[in-house]
Amino acid sequence: MENKKITEFVHVDESNEEKMSAKITIQSFKDEIKEIDVPKGIVTFLGSKNGKRIPYLTKNRYSVSDLVHCQRKSLYKQLGLKPEQLVQDLSIEQMWSTVRGNFLHQMTNAYDWNELEMQYPVNLKDDKHATLHGRLDMYDWKTKTIMDLKSVTNLRHQVKHGFIPKLQHILQVQCYGTMFESYIPIENLNLVYVDNIDIVTYKIQKRDMTDWIKTRIQEIEDACNTKQIIKGEPTGLCQFCKYQTKCHTDGNGITHTPLSVPKGGRYN
């Protein structure tokens, strides 16, 4: 019977180099082991596979991407504004680009430690709190390296013209370094850019982003409370933003004709 099975462990006591042995049976652990609830993550996973959707709360909850991209867009999300509708459907090229990006993401399987999630607590003023959510693409525990994968088009062209590494990608991987540091040893940060021809990797300096994260969130939270719309940070990504009409109307944001409009009409 399983309970009677005896395993013998032998180890060397380095102090006197005498061999010692101990007989361990399952009874040895009788008082130490107790049944507990099924882990929450497993319950959530089973629920999601059976059509049970967990509501995604945005209030006081940020992703790293929310912080490194346009702050005004994050504010609109926090204010609960309904996303607008993009005027034009995505082109075949844009849809292929997304799907190709998903394929290239298979690269994260290069390491067994991949897609590691983190909910990082951020203390704000007046005893308020926020949660920063992040997911590590890859972690190499042998070299203690965090790797973030970015799929792009025309990689060599972008490298040649100095378009990459992009600032938001550098900040993103540095945020991951800060968020995960208390849980796993981290010595290196890498940004790995891929397209369907090439792979280019950059080593990024580690930096403590604690204050930057806190300030960035606090500014959005303050704007939520005062209803002051913060300045937009226009980039090429604005064309995909689903708050373009709102941003254009509020001023200090995009100046081109909005490529997204409110669903079912105008803002009141």
Binding site for ligand SF4 (CB under 6 A): 70, 72-73, 232-234, 238, 241, 243-244, 247, 253-254
Residue of this chain nearest to ligand SF4 (CB atom): 232
Quick one: tokens of 83? 């996303």
CB of 191 to ligand SF4, least distance (A): 22
Q: How far apart are CA 5 and CA 25, in angstroms?
A: 7
Question: By C-beta, is 90 or 199 nearer to ligand SF4?
Answer: 90
Question: By C-beta, is 86 or 184 nearer to ligand SF4?
Answer: 86
Distances from the Cα of 95 to the Cα of 99, 101, 201, angstroms: 6, 10, 26
CB of 254 to ligand SF4, least distance (A): 5
Question: By C-beta, is 140 or 250 nearer to ligand SF4?
Answer: 250
Question: By C-beta, is 48 or 252 nearer to ligand SF4?
Answer: 252
Which residue is listed with tokens 């208390």?
Answer: 182
Quick one: DSSP state of residue 53? P
CB of 137 to ligand SF4, least distance (A): 23
Distances from the Cα of 100 to the Cα of 5, 68, 106, 111, 115, angstroms: 53, 24, 10, 20, 18
Question: By C-beta, is 44 or 252 nearer to ligand SF4?
Answer: 252
CB of 253 to ligand SF4, least distance (A): 4
Interior angle at CA 47, CA 242 and CA 120, nearest 5: 60
Give the pairing of strands 61-63 and 129-140.
parallel
CB of 260 to ligand SF4, least distance (A): 8
